């Protein structure tokens, strides 16, 4: 229960509904624990006693009280449960929103170490399980304890009034035994719930990976292999779920058996003592009302254990430290010039594996700078330090002599535009994908940006034009079209710093010609970092930085670097590039 208390803060906006739901459940509990046994005693006695002292009209009114009580009990129970379900959906929405927001600010290095499908399962299935646990705790955790207390109180009152303390002790002797199967089952459920949630995450991850690699799976004939892996994980999930079901479903029969033993013990005692039927009936009804809450609380306890297992997986993300954040007292910046400098910068994804070592360089505003070197030399890492996708392990990265860590992230990144090797488009319209560059831009500005990117003509050729849905990751567009939409986004952003991660490497010759023309226009007057894999793309670079094993081993224009750097010369000659 304590584990869920921090999340009860999400109930604050619905305090009124929470109070109303609580009142409804108090009415339900009173009607179940006291009202029902008392009413049955008062009705059964007059109807079946030998004296038959009541008139037919009085008996009719007494009998009508039975459905009336069940109506009140039913309405109160329904209203309370429904309100708690309504409140629970608010809690679920808030938890999922907290989880999603946390994912947006966690470091890229952490996210890249996770499986997207597993994170999806946490956001959906685990959050749903936590919501269920909180809702049941708030409703069942109120209703059944109150019913149990009311019923025990009625049993004690009736038993003492009719026969003395002995009958009360006989009736309640077996009630504590009902708790033991509940506790044992809960321990088993927690262990299996943790396994089940983990297997659900793995299953979701495998599904996401197979959908993302559909072409490769078919090309290499891996259909049966991936189906076998999925089947294996699915069976492990099924096994865990069946064990949870076994332990949960055992609670009811065990508590009912103990309840039956209690009733039998009470009947034997009542027979020897010659208790009247109306007294016995009221006591037995109340006694039954004692065991039903125990059974329901046992199921609730199992649900709490499953919720705890799900919460553990959510809190792995929610409690992950945010290492890339706004400073406590940020420096306010507007539009930057784009003068980039790195001073004695080192960086490592893992402490024992440095990626950049003692990097010091200055890239003046308006410079087109190409980052060149073999795979793993540190080019992309260098570029990722500028927008603070990562923070330097040591040293400082500055723009216009301001440390990037001293700026608000929003201010810093508003001054940058990124065009990746694979253009990322969202499942939305072409117009809205371009608007990601600047949300408050007008339609005329969007179209102007598309013209600059040589995208307006093909966009206008679609029946819906700029309102065309591009599909997931832009699936309805060709590679060249996606890249030009991404360039239009960069044009609309109009940032002083531009990062190009080999924006033309995956394009055909015709598309590359369009993109190269757009890039030339886009780079004019900006500070540009080009992460170069193909040397034919750096013909417009005024400065080249050559990376090797985390060091900058050469810097300068092409002719100078080609003449002085054996590494650059070998890489350049190997590709046969013409710059």
Query: By mean pLDDT, which of 111-120, 197-206, 356-365 is the weakest?
Result: 197-206
Q: Name the average pLDDT for the chain.
A: 78
Nearest Cα neighbor of 162 from 275, 239, 54 is: 275
Mean pLDDT to the nearest integer, 362-368: 92
Q: What is the pLDDT of residues 299-354, one digit of tens each?
A: 677 777 777 888 888 888 888 888 888 898 999 898 999 999 999 999 988 777 88
pLDDT of residue 275: 64
Query: CA 404, 406, 411, 412: dihedral to nearest 10 degrees?
Result: 0
- Whether the per-residue pLDDT at 513 is higher than 70: the answer is yes
Mean pLDDT to the nearest integer, 21-39: 71
Distances (CA, A) of 50 to 41, 44, 45: 15, 12, 9
- Whether the per-residue pLDDT at 251 is higher than 90: the answer is no
pLDDT of residue 212: 66
Instruction: Give the single-character DSSP code of 330.
Output: P
Mean pLDDT to the nearest integer, 7-23: 73
pLDDT of residue 285: 67
Q: Are 166 and 39 in contact (CB under 8 A)?
A: no
The whole-angstrom separation of Cα 27 and Cα 24 is 5
Reported as a pLDDT band with limits 50, 70 and 90, residue 400 is: very high
Going along the chain from its start, the domains and CATH numbers come out as: 8-318 (1.20.1560.10), 340-575 (3.40.50.300)
Distances (CA, A) of 526 to 154, 490, 500: 82, 12, 12
Q: Are 330 and 523 in contact (CB under 8 A)?
A: no
The whole-angstrom separation of Cα 489 and Cα 494 is 9
The whole-angstrom separation of Cα 209 and Cα 231 is 15
pLDDT of residue 453: 85
HSE-up of residue 569 (Cα within 13 Å, Cβ side): 8
The whole-angstrom separation of Cα 185 and Cα 243 is 10
Reported as a pLDDT band with limits 50, 70 and 90, residue 496 is: very high
Q: What is the pLDDT of residues 57-90, one digit of tens each?
A: 666 776 777 777 778 778 887 887 788 777 777 7
- Whether the per-residue pLDDT at 286 is higher than 80: the answer is no
- Whether the per-residue pLDDT at 53 is higher than 70: the answer is no
The whole-angstrom separation of Cα 408 and Cα 333 is 8
Mean pLDDT to the nearest integer, 17-26: 77
pTM listed for this prediction: 0.69
Angle between helical axes of 277-318 and 56-105 (0-180°, round to 10): 10
The whole-angstrom separation of Cα 253 and Cα 28 is 24
- Whether the per-residue pLDDT at 458 is higher than 50: the answer is yes
pLDDT of residue 139: 66
Q: Are 399 and 368 in contact (CB under 8 A)?
A: no
- Tell me what percent of the residues of the chain surpass a pLDDT of 70: 73
Reported as a pLDDT band with limits 50, 70 and 90, residue 362 is: very high
pLDDT of residue 579: 44
pLDDT of residue 444: 92
């Amino acid at each position: 229960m304590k584990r869920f208390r921090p999340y009860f803060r999400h109930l604050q906006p619905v305090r009124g509904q929470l109070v109303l739901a609580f009142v409804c459940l108090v009415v339900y509990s009173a009607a179940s624990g006291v009202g029902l046994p008392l009413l049955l005693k008062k009705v059964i006695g007059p109807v079946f006693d030998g004296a038959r002292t009541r008139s037919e009209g009085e008996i009719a009114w007494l009998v009508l009280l039975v459905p009336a009580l069940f109506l009140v009990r039913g309405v109160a129970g329904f209203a309370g449960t429904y309100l708690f379900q309504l409140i629970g959906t608010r809690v679920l929405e808030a938890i999922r929103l907290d989880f999603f927001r946390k994912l947006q600010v966690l470091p890229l290095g952490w996210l890249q170490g996770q499986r997207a499908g597993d994170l999806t399962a946490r956001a959906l299935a685990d959050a749903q399980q936590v919501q269920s646990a909180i809702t049941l705790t708030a409703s069942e955790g109120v209703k059944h304890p109150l019913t149990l207390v009311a019923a025990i109180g009625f049993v004690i009152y009736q038993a003492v009034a009719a026969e003395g303390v002995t009958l009360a002790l006989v009736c309640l002797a077996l009630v504590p035994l009902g708790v033991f199967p509940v506790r044992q089952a809960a321990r088993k459920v927690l262990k299996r719930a943790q396994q089940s949630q983990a297997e659900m995450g793995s299953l979701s991850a495998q599904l996401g990976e197979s959908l993302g690699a559909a072409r490769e799976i078919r090309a290499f004939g891996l259909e049966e292999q991936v189906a076998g892996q999925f089947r294996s994980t699915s069976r492990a999930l099924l096994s865990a779920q069946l064990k949870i079901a076994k332990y949960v479903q055992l609670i009811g029969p065990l508590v009912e058996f103990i309840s039956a033993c209690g009733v039998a013990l009470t009947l034997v005692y009542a027979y020897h003592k010659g208790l009247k039927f109306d007294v016995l009936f009221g006591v037995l009804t109340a006694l039954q009302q004692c065991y039903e809450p125990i059974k329901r609380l046992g199921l609730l306890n199992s649900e709490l254990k499953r919720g705890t297992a799900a919460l553990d997986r959510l809190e792995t993300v929610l409690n992950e430290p945010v290492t890339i954040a706004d400073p406590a007292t940020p420096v306010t910046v507007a539009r930057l010039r784009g003068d980039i400098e790195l001073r004695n910068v080192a960086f490592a994804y893992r402490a024992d594996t440095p990626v950049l070592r003692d990097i010091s360089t200055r890239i003046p505003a308006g410079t087109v700078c190409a980052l060149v070197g073999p795979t793993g030399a540190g080019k992309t890492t260098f570029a990722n330090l500028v927008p603070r996708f990562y923070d330097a392990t040591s040293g400082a990265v500055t723009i216009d002599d301001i440390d990037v860590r001293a700026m608000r992230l929003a201010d810093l990144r508003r001054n940058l535009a990124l065009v990746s090797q694979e253009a990322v488009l969202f499942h939305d319209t072409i117009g809205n994908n371009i608007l990601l560059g600047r949300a408050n831009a007008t339609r005329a500005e969007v179209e102007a940006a598309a013209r600059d990117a040589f995208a307006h003509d093909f966009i206008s050729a679609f029946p819906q034009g700029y309102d065309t849905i591009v599909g997931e990751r832009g699936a309805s567009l060709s590679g060249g079209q996606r890249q030009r939409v991404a360039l239009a986004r960069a044009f609309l952003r109009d940032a002083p710093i531009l990062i190009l991660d080999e924006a033309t490497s995956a394009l055909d010759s015709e598309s590359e010609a369009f993109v190269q023309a757009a890039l030339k226009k886009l780079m004019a007057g900006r500070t540009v970092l080009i992460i170069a894999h193909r040397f034919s793309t750096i013909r417009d670079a005024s400065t080249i930085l050559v990376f090797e094993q985390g060091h900058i081993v050469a810097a300068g224009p092409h002719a100078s670097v080609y003449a002085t750097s054996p590494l650059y010369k070998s890489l350049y000659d190997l590709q046969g590039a013409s710059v």
